[in-house]
Amino acid sequence: MQFSFDINSIFKTQITKIDNNLLPDGFQGDRTLTEDVTKKVDEVITALGGESAKAQKLSQPITTGQKVKNQTHNVYILTDPKGKEGQGTAIGILKTGRKNLYLFDTKGEQRQVSPVCILDFYVHESQQRNGKGKLLFEYMLKEENIKNPVQMAIDRPSSKLLNFLNKHYGLKNVLPQSNKFVVYDGFFKNSKQLPTKPQHSKNVQTPKSNKKSAAITKPPWLAGEAVRNKPLNSKALRNKSSNWL
């Protein structure tokens, strides 16, 4: 994606980590520069978030500059420094964040956990299937000190992302949850159970349909085995208006 300003002057490395101050990791500058850079980073995040939503056919973007500002998430921006005649283009975005979640383990036990989650992931159509997603993902794993993506939960993964995780990390057996997060078989081996009772906690993600009763619906796979590869209609899963589960 092209912008009216010089992308390379804002994003000095191919991948840049940004948190809720909307400034590139390690940024230093006076007040005027800070305001200018923040505005431009906001514009880039919002534009990439919008493209990601379009690619996933979502009615609302999951990622905007404003949302990043108001949350404790990390955003990784991938640029092509050679794009737009050396001014650079922005070609990918990956958003992660820790969430308190109720999840069912393989035995049907409800667990409260707080994993780092993959919340949004997008590489520009012109650059997909070219290793760019892997580059971005690997960078994130190092930054977040995650040894294996099986430790992560994924918020409504698309079929492309399921394929991506299968291809690059051999992740196969998904355990989709009622709150539309997905974890893989193996997730619960090392995950720490949180000590508190979660039902009344404000920050815990419970299934929308069950918020009033605070009872949590068991996901359908609990009736059988962990599901191999394409366990679900991932498009429906990603679509917020879907009634899946």
> Which residues contact ligand ACO (rule: CB under 6 A)?
52, 55-56, 118, 120-123, 128-134, 154-155, 157-158, 160-161, 163-164, 167, 238
Query: How remote is the C-alpha of 182 from its chain's centroid?
Result: 12
Q: Which is nearer to ligand ACO, 23 or 182 (CB)?
A: 182
Question: Which one, 84 or 235, has the nearer CB to ligand ACO?
Answer: 235
Residue 101 or 123: the one with the smaller Cβ distance to ligand ACO is 123
Nearer to ligand ACO, 158 or 173 (CB): 158
Residues of the chain by 3-state class (helix, strand, coil), percent to 5: 35, 20, 45
Maximum Cα interatomic distance, the chain, rounded to a whole number of Å: 59
Q: Which residue is nearest to ligand ACO (CB)?
A: 133
Which residue number, 40 or 95, has a Cβ lying nearer to ligand ACO? Answer: 95
Q: Which two tokens stand for residue 90?
A: 């922005």
Least CB distance from residue 139 to ligand ACO, whole Å?
12
Query: C-alpha distances in angstroms, 78 versus 41, 43, 44, 161, 238?
Result: 12, 14, 11, 17, 23
Q: Rounded to whole angstroms, what are the CA distances from 11 to 2, 3, 22, 50, 139?
A: 13, 12, 12, 19, 15
Residue 165 Cβ vs ligand ACO, minimum distance, rounded to whole Å: 8
| Three-class DSSP category at 170 | coil
Give whichever of 23 and 165 is closer to ligand ACO, judged by the CB atom. 165
What are the residues facing 175 on neighbouring strands? 183
User: Residue 155 Cβ, how far from ligand ACO at the closest point, in Å?
Assistant: 5
Min CB(126)–ligand ACO separation in Å: 10
How many CB atoms neighbour CB 31 within 10 A?
7
Min CB(168)–ligand ACO separation in Å:
6
Neighbours of 195 (CB within 10 A): 6
- In this structure, what token pair is assigned to residue 113? 């956990």
- What are 191's two structure tokens? 């995950």
Nearest CA-CA partner of 74 in 99, 50, 110: 99
Residue 36 vs 144, nearer CB to ligand ACO: 144
